[in-house]
């Protein structure tokens, strides 16, 4: 019976480890004894099972396969024996009156979706009902998608290194989700009706309404005959559905290189005493269509980009954006 094959030796030892350890677990007659046996055999640091696992390294690939499989079996039977032993001791303690089963249990703390996640999910749901599907794009973007294809000229102040997180050669943390418009149009022909939700990055000084990272929802609709009236309708409908029927929004003429005409959209803040910018929007500039190979003679489109934090804050009456990032459970539990 005595073989010198390392695999066979290892398997024999595994076998006896299994027998001894199960015997020890079964024999444990108190929680302390069981814990001692658990540490001896199943202990994470110096347990014998752990040592048996390390033995794997000494075997050749074929041996590893055989031994590994057997090892997993032994591990499972040890864990099963441990739970069985625990249950046995617990039952005995209950029977002996040592455990008062009428005491209330510890109430497990339930997890919770972050208010920004809730907002994003609601926006996806709402725009889904308007027929918009969800698109995604990378947070590490190239200059082409963040600026060039969006008709932002090389000299435009939006490219200022002090206003962007540039990374290595030609890449950056995207400063707007408008990048996803380009990615979607590069990948598909019109008609298009998508939203994109995600993080954007700008080196702004943090205060009650600014953060160096925040979230935007971008919308894009392209087809024959899409109009500015359609854009205003969609945004009004959206604002009413998400912020309530009595919400007031207004459109101000503005400028973005990727839309013409462009507007900024404001909402009357909770309290009703001031207007706060919700985002920008407009009719897709023909140059943007040309950059992605769409024919501006054939289709028109509208686009919008809104700040998700502000929507969430307006909806829930939150006055400081920083509360959304501090992960204070007392704050988060309110939503
Ligand atoms: N990307 C702009 C920003 O971050 C917002 C924006 C304006 C998005 C107009 C659009 C748009 O899609 O049409 O400031």
Return the axis-axis angle of helices 31-42 and 6-27, rounded to nearest 10°: 170
Q: Which among 49, 66, 95 is the end of a domain?
A: 95
In three-state secondary structure terms, 165 is strand
Same domain, 315 and 166: yes
pLDDT at site 16: 94
Same domain, 236 and 149: yes
- Provide the domain limits for residue 84: 6-95
Q: Which among 62, 95, 128 is the end of a domain?
A: 95
* Sign of the four-CA dihedral 317, 321, 324, 327: negative
Does the residue 273 lie in any domain? yes
Which atom of ligand 1 lies nearest, measured to the CA of 302?
A: 13
Same domain, 91 and 142: no
Does the residue 1 lie in any domain? no
Same domain, 135 and 272: yes
Same domain, 126 and 75: no
Same domain, 71 and 204: no
52 pairs with which residues across the strands?
none
Distance 265 CA to ligand 1 centre (A): 10
Residues lining ligand 1, judged by CB closer than 6 Å?
A: 176, 178, 218, 256, 259, 262, 279-282, 303-305
Alpha carbon distance 183, 71 (integer Å): 49
Same domain, 91 and 119: no
Distance 303 CA to ligand 1 centre (A): 7
Q: Which among 61, 95, 129 is the end of a domain?
A: 95
Distance 192 CA to ligand 1 centre (A): 17
Same domain, 88 and 132: no
Alpha helices in the chain (DSSP H): 6-27, 31-42, 48-54, 61-95, 115-129, 143-146, 178-187, 228-243, 286-291, 308-316, 329-332
Same domain, 79 and 119: no
pLDDT tens string, the chain, 335 residues long: the values are 457 899 999 999 999 999 999 999 999 999 999 999 999 999 998 999 999 999 999 999 999 999 999 999 999 999 999 999 999 999 998 888 888 888 888 888 888 899 999 999 999 999 999 999 999 999 999 999 999 999 999 999 999 999 999 998 899 999 999 999 999 999 999 999 999 999 999 999 999 989 999 999 999 999 999 999 999 999 999 999 999 999 999 999 999 999 999 999 999 998 889 999 999 999 999 999 999 999 999 999 999 999 999 999 999 999 999 999 998 989 998 99
Does the residue 59 lie in any domain? yes
How many independent structural domains does the chain possess? 2
Q: Nearest CA to 312 among 228, 214, 185? A: 214
Distance 178 CA to ligand 1 centre (A): 6
Does the residue 90 lie in any domain? yes
CATH label of the domain that carries residue 189: 3.30.930.10
Same domain, 90 and 217: no
Same domain, 206 and 244: yes
pTM for the predicted model, two decimal places:
0.71
């Amino acid at each position: 019976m005595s073989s010198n094959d390392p695999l066979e030796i290892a398997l024999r030892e595994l076998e006896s480890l299994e027998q001894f350890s199960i015997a020890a677990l079964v024999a444990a007659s108190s929680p302390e004894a069981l814990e001692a046996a658990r540490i001896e055999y199943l202990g994470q640091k110096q347990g014998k099972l752990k040592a048996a696992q390390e033995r794997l390294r000494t075997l050749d690939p074929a041996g590893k396969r055989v031994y590994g499989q057997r090892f997993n079996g032994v591990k499972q039977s040890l864990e099963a024996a441990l739970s069985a032993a625990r249950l046995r001791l617990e039952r005995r303690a209950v029977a002996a009156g040592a455990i008062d089963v009428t005491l209330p249990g510890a109430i497990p703390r339930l997890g919770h979706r972050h208010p920004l996640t809730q907002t994003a999910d609601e926006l996806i749901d709402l725009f889904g009902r308007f027929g918009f599907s969800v698109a995604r794009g990378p947070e590490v973007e190239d200059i082409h998608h963040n600026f060039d294809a969006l008709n932002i000229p090389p000299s435009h102040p939006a490219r200022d290194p002090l206003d962007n997180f540039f990374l290595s050669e030609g890449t950056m943390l995207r400063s707007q989700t408008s990048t996803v418009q380009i990615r979607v149009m590069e990948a598909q022909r019109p008609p298009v009706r998508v939203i994109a939700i995600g993080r954007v990055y700008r080196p702004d000084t943090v205060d009650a309404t600014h953060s160096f990272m925040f979230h935007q929802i971008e919308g894009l609709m392209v087809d024959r005959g899409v109009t500015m009236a359609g854009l205003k309708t969609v945004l009004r409908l959206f604002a009413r559905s998400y912020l309530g029927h009595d919400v007031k929004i207004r459109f101000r003429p503005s400028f973005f290189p990727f839309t013409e005409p462009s507007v900024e959209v404001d909402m009357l803040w909770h309290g009703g005493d001031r207007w706060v910018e919700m985002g920008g929007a407009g009719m897709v500039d023909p140059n943007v269509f040309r950059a992605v190979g769409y024919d501006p003679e054939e289709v028109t489109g509208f686009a919008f980009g809104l700040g998700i934090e502000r929507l969430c804050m307006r909806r829930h009456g939150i006055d400081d954006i920083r509360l959304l990032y501090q992960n204070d459970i007392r704050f988060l539990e309110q939503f």
